[in-house]
């Protein structure tokens, strides 16, 4: 039987979020350099699959969390590859829908775990960093779903296809409030999503930093009093 409390494995030694954060970083750091050798859509699907599998591993400390992560992550993974192999737009939209649900679930569970901690450890910091990346990835799926349901919601550069991989760039440029202007939200729903992401990103940084600093100060004072 699956234990209700937590699954003890090698991840407890290396950190709960180490592999999850590594898979997210590979999505940004490694994928662009492999694009000349492998089709972009296949690369993005492979890295998204890695993120989902490592995410399932990271958040499945209880049976309930494991079941929820499988029920959203596995359909997203299978539908994504079905869309890539069979070239079915409907499967791509369904995959992105399940992907958004899975990433949102992972974000909620990780934030809940981090907020319960009373010490600033490497794992807590990694969890906070993962959460920031997950905010951007949730919006990747939301942007793609909006563009799929309402073509023309975004103004894309000529020759750029409506693929989730292109919204990775736009989402994180918006999240960090850089805004180069090469991809633009045109419709009102698209603009609202972009504004909301920028606000959430800035508020998250402010709240997360304040929270970690407060825990660290409390932790330091507790040690000094001993």
Give pLDDT, residue 225: 55
Strands (E), the chain: 154-155, 184-185
CA distance 107 to 94: 20
**In a domain? residue 8:** no
**In a domain? residue 2:** no
How many separate domains does the chain show? 1
**In a domain? residue 192:** yes
Give pLDDT, residue 74: 94
- Output the domain CATH number for residue 83: 1.10.287.70
**In a domain? residue 1:** no
**In a domain? residue 159:** yes
**In a domain? residue 113:** yes
Split the chain (226 residues) into runs of 10 and give each run's mean pLDDT: 43 70 87 75 85 90 89 94 89 94 94 85 89 95 94 85 82 91 92 96 90 78 57
**In a domain? residue 40:** yes
Contact between 139 and 173 under an 8 Å Cβ cutoff? The reply is: no
Place of tokens 């399932």: 56
The range of the structural domain enclosing residue 168 comes to 13-225
Q: Measuring CA to CA, which residue among 184, 180, 200 is closest to residue 133? A: 200
**In a domain? residue 65:** yes
């Amino acid at each position: 039987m699956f234990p209700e409390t937590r699954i003890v494995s090698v991840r407890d030694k290396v950190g709960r979020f180490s592999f999850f954060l590594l898979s997210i970083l590979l999505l940004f750091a490694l994928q662009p350099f492999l694009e000349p050798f492998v089709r972009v859509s296949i690369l993005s699907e492979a890295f998204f699959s890695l993120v989902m599998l490592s995410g399932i591993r990271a958040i499945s400390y209880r049976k309930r969390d494991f079941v929820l992560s499988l029920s959203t992550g596995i359909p997203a993974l299978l539908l994504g590859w079905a869309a890539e192999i069979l070239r079915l737009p409907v499967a791509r939209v369904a995959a992105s829908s399940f992907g958004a649900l899975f990433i949102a679930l992972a974000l909620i569970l990780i934030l809940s775990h981090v907020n319960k901690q009373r010490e600033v450890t490497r794992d807590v910091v990694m969890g906070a960093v993962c959460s920031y990346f997950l905010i951007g990835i949730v919006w990747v799926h939301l942007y793609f779903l909006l563009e799929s349901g309402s073509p023309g919601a975004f103004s894309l550069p000529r020759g750029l296809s409506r693929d989730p991989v292109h919204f990775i760039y736009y989402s994180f440029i918006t999240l960090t409030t850089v805004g180069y202007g090469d991809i633009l939200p045109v419709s009102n729903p698209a603009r609202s999503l972009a504004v909301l992401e920028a606000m959430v990103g800035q508020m998250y940084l402010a709240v997360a930093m304040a929270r970690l600093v407060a825990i660290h100060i409390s932790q330091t004072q507790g040690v000094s009093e001993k």
